[in-house]
Amino acid sequence: MIDQFRKIIVSLLKEKTDLIEDEIDKCIEIPPDSKMGDYAFPCFSLSKTLKKPPNKIASELAEQISPVNPINEIKAIGPYLNFFLDKKIFSEVVLKKISNETDLYGSDAIGTDKTVVIDYSSPNIAKHLAVHHLRSALIGNALYNIYKELGYKCVGINHLGDWGTQFGQLIVAYRKWGEKNLEKYTITDLNKLYVKFHQEAEKDIHLEDEAREWFKKLENGDGEAIALWKRFKDISLLEFQRVYKMLGIQFDAFVGESFYNTMVDDTVLRIQKKGLSCISEQALIIDLERYNMPPCLLRKKDDTTLYATRDIAAAEYRSAEYHFDKMIYVVGSEQKLHFNQVFKVLELMGYDWANNCVHVDFGLMKFKEGRMSTRKGMVVLLEDLLIEAVERIKKIIEEKNPSLKDKEIVANDVGIGAVIFADLSTKRNKDVIFDWDTVLNFEGETGPYVQYTHARLCSILRKYGKAVTSNIDFALLKEDDAINLIKVLWQYPFVLLKSAQFYEPSLISNYLIDVCAKVNKFYNSHRVLSEDDDLTKARILMVNAARQIIKNGLKILGMHAPTEM
C-alpha cells in the first residue's frame, strides 16, 4: 500500500529539490510528537550538496512550498521541514479505509506471483522439541503470515532432522537395550536410549563403529534399519504435532533431511564436476579458506553424507520445485557459519538464486534462572511450558472473572498467546528472557495486555449495541489523543511491509503495544459512550478501527483475539 499523504509530500519536495522520489521518501520521518507536524523532512543531507546550513534550507523550502489539500501548513522547525495535515480529511481517509477493508486492512499485492519458501522449526526426531525450535516455529509462522498478507505465495517447510549418524546410534541402542514393544515408546524413551548409548560408548569403543555401520545400512536402504527409523520418526512426529497443534502452527510440508538421501549423490557429483571439492583426511570437502571459512564437509571417510550436504541438495530441490523468489531459513544464530558455507557453495555451483537465500537468525530463549537445557538436567519441555501457561491463566481468570463464558478456550488463547507474544516481542537476534511474572502480566507489554485491550474494545462495542457507521462528522475527532491514535492506526500496513523487509515480527508486536497504549489513553481520558449521539458515533468508529487493527495484527503473530476476557 502507498501512503497517499506521504506521496503528496514527496511530490511537493521533488519540485523544489534535486532529489529523486525514492531518496525523499526514505528521508521522511513521522515526528513522535504531533506538535512537530505529521510528517517531517530532515534537511541534513541537502545541506551537504547545497552547502548551506540545514536550518536555512528548511526555512527556504517552507517559503517556497505552498500547502495543498490535505496539507494545512508547512513549517520549518530547526533543520526540519514539517508538514501538518488537515486532521478532518486525514481521519476520514484512515477510518473509512479501515472500516471498508476490515480483515484485509494491511494486505497488499506486492507479492503477487512471487514465492517465498520458509524453512522453520525443523526439530530433530527422537529428541524433544527444543526451545530454539519453538522460537523458530513462532518467528517462521509469523513471517509466513506476514508474507502471505503481502500477497506472496508461501511454502512452509519443516526440514526435520531425521537423518545422520545419531540414528545409527539409536538403532544400536534399541537393538541392545530397548524394550521390544516399540508401540508404547515416546520421545522420552528414545532419549533414554541415546543417553545409554553414550554412557556405554565411553566404555566400549566398538559401539561407535557399530553405529556408523547401522547408519550406513540406513543410507543403503536396509530393511530392518529403515523399519526402526520409520518407527522412531512416527513416535517423534506424534509429539511434534501435538505441540504444533497447541500453538496453532501448520506447515505445507514435512520434508526431512532423509528425503534428500536419493539426491545427494547427484549433488555431490555436480560439485565434483565443477572442480569445487577435494579429499582431505579421507573426507570429501570444499575448501572455503579463500572466503575465510572452514571447509564444508560433504562426505565422511565412510562415504556417509552430512547436514550441509543435505542442505545443499535440499536447496537445489526447492529451487527446481518452487522456483522461489526468496528462501528463508529461520534457524538460531549458532548456525550462522553453516548457512554462510551452504550459501557460498550454492553460489560457487553457479546458482544465481543463491543470493535469494536468507538465514533469519535469532537469539536464545533463557529462563530467568538460566538457559533452558536438555543436557544439564534442568529440562523444560515445551509442551509442559505451554500447559503451564494455560493453567496459570486459568487461575487468573478464576480469580478475576469466574463467570466468563468459554473459560477453557479463553485460557488457552491467552496462555498460549502469552508465550507467543513474549517470544515475538523481543527483537529476534536478542535473547528472550522468559519470566512468568512478566510474560503473564496483564498490565505489561505482553500478549495478555494486548488481548485484554482488544476484549475491552469489544465490550464497549457490545455496550453501544448499534451498527458502526462511517457516516459521521470527522471534525469531532479533534483531541490529540484521538488524532494520535488514528495516526498510529494508519501506520499498520507500513509496519507490515517493514517487518517483511527486515524479517522482524517484533515490529508488529511492538506496534500493537503502541496501538493499545494510545487507545487506552484515549479511553481513560475521554468517554466513548455519552449522551451526545454524534460524538459517540464518531468515537465508536475510531474504537472499532482500533479493535480491527489489534485483531489483524494478533492474527499475523499467530494469536487469537478473544472478544471477552
DSSP alpha helix (H) spans, 113-222: 131-149, 165-177, 187-203, 206-219
Give CA angle at 131 (125, 135), nearest 5°: 105
- Please identify which residue in 311, 413, 423, 504 interacts with ligand ARG, judged by CB under 6 A: 311
Residue 484 is a binding residue for ligand ARG (CB under 6 A): no
Q: How far is the CB of 161 from ligand ARG (least distance, A)?
A: 3
Residues 6+ apart with CB under 8 A from 388: none
Q: What is the DSSP letter of 329?
A: E
Q: Is 161 in the site for ligand ARG (CB under 6 A)?
A: yes
Residue 374 makes CB contacts below 8 A (sequence gap 6+) with 127, 128, 130
**Beta carbons of 548 and 461 less than 8 angstroms apart:** no
Judged by CB, which is closer to ligand ARG: 138, or 538?
138
User: Can you tell me whether residue 496 is helix, strand or coil?
Assistant: helix
DSSP string, 522-556: HHHHS-SS-S-HHHHHHHHHHHHHHHHHHHHHHHH
452 close to 540: Cβ distance less than 8 angstroms: no
Which CB atom, from 91 or from 169, has the smaller least distance to ligand ARG? 169
357 or 397: whose CB is closer to ligand ARG?
357
Smallest gap from Cβ 322 to ligand ARG, in A, equals 14
Q: Which is nearer to ligand ARG, 70 or 164 (CB)?
A: 164
Rounded to 10 degrees, the C-alpha dihedral 419/420/426/427 comes to 150
Which of 215, 244, 329, 492 is the binder for ligand ARG (CB under 6 A)?
A: 329
Quick one: which H or E segment has residue 297? strand 296-299
CB 157, CB 117: distance < 8 Å:
yes
User: What are the residues whose beta carbons fall under 8 Å from the beta carbon of 35, sequence distance 6 or more?
Assistant: none
Residue 40 CB, nearest approach to ligand ARG (Å)? 43
Residues in contact with ligand ARG, counted by CB under 6 A, come to a total of 9
| Interactions with ligand ARG, residue window 189-228 (CB under 6 A) | none
Least Å distance, CB 188 to ligand ARG, is 18
Interface with ligand ARG, residue 187, by CB under 6 A: no
Binding mask 330-359 for ligand ARG (x = CB under 6 A): -x----------------------------
Nearest to 493 by CA among 29, 31, 4: 4
> Which CB sits closer to ligand ARG, 119 or 445?
119
**239-257 as b/e, with b when 16 or more CB fall inside 10 Å?**
bbeebbebbebebeebbbb
Q: How far is the CB of 174 from ligand ARG (least distance, A)?
A: 21
Three-state secondary-structure class, residue 40 = strand
Q: Would you say 381 or 439 has its CB closer to ligand ARG?
A: 381
β-pair partners for 81: 41, 76
Interface residues for ligand ARG in 513-532 (CB under 6 A)?
Answer: none
Applying CB under 6 A, among 17, 82, 124, 453 the residue interacting with ligand ARG is 124
Based on the shown chain and the rule CB under 6 A, indicate whether residue 236 belongs to the binding site for ligand ARG. no
Instruction: Specify the stretch interacting with ligand ARG by CB under 6 A; choose among 120-128, 352-360, 494-502, 504-512.
Output: 120-128
Tell the smallest beta-carbon distance from residue 108 to ligand ARG (Å): 28
Residue 144 sits in the site that holds ligand ARG (CB under 6 A):
no
54: cis peptide before it, omega within 30°?
Answer: no
Residue 159 binds ligand ARG, judged by CB under 6 A: yes
For the CB of residue 354, give the shortest distance to ligand ARG in the complex, in Å: 14
Residues 100-119 that bind ligand ARG (CB under 6 A): 119
**117 neighbors 508 (Cβ within 8 angstroms):** no
For ligand ARG, the closer CB: 359 or 537: 359
- Nearer to ligand ARG (CB atom), residue 123 or residue 448: 123
Q: What is the 3-state secondary structure (H, E, C) of 387-431?
A: HHHHHHHHHHHHHHCCCCCCHHHHHHHHHHHHHHHHHHCCCCCCC
Minimal distance in Å, beta carbon 385 to ligand ARG?
A: 18
Q: How far is the CB of 329 from ligand ARG (least distance, A)?
A: 5
In this chain, which residue has its C-beta nearest to ligand ARG?
161
Q: Least distance (Å) from ligand ARG to the CB of residue 286?
A: 17
Give the nearer residue to ligand ARG in terms of CB position, either 264 or 411: 264
Strand 39-42 and strand 71-77: the pairing is: unpaired
Q: Quote the least distance from Cβ 338 to ligand ARG, whole Å.
A: 7
Contacts of 135 (CB under 8 A, 6+ apart): 332, 362, 365, 423, 428, 432
How far is Cα 303 from Cα 306, in angstroms, rounded to an integer? Answer: 10
| Cβ closest to ligand ARG, residue 228 vs residue 331 | 331
Residues composing the chain:
565
306 scored as a contact of ligand ARG (CB under 6 A): no
Interface residue with ligand ARG among 17, 59, 91, 122 (CB under 6 A) is 122
Contact set with ligand ARG (CB under 6 A) = 119, 122-124, 159, 161, 311, 329, 331
